[in-house]
Structure formats: C-alpha cells, structure tokens
Amino acid sequence: GLETLHKWFQDWQRFGSVLEWEIRDYIESGNQAVVTWYFHSVYEGEEDAFDGVSIIRFDENEHIIELKEYQSTLPHTEIQLK
C-alpha cells in the first residue's frame, strides 16, 4: 500500500540517481495516455538504461487513477512497415 510506496521512494532518493529520462512519445485519447520513454540511472552504484512504456488513466479531474509501467531491455529490433 501507501507505506510500501513511501519506502520505495525514500530508498530511491537515498541510493539512486537519474542520469537521463527522455519522453519520446505521448499519445492521449479520452481519459487515457500512453507514453514511451528512455530511462538511464545509477542505483546502489549499478548503472542501468532501458526503454519503457507507461499506460495512464485519469479521472474526471485529470488525476491519475491507474498507472501501468513496462520495461524493455536494450537492444531493440525495430520493424518499419511501408
């Protein structure tokens, strides 16, 4: 619950550092948004980088009511359709 979230955030602030967080795409439709991003960080001395996708749902006051995040490891194979 909320206590677990607070502990995760405190640990991240203490042991982690964001080196880069690039938003690549933002697609919004109705009360939902999809965001693709690149995240590069150091946590407890270990450097890591990955692409990610967030699926976000908002209520009528534009507050986030649901957040799903997915991590993808590098390298990627991209397919271009003509």
pLDDT tens, residue by residue, 41-79: 999 999 999 999 999 999 999 999 999 999 987 677 778
One-letter amino acid for residue 50 of the chain = F
CA gap 82, 66 in Å, rounded: 35
Residue of 39 and 9 predicted with greater confidence: 39
Q: What's this model's pTM, rounded to 2 decimal places?
A: 0.75
CA gap 33, 53 in Å, rounded: 10
CA gap 64, 52 in Å, rounded: 18
Alpha-carbon distances of 15 from 4, 26, 47, 50, 79, rounded to whole Å? 16, 29, 12, 18, 37
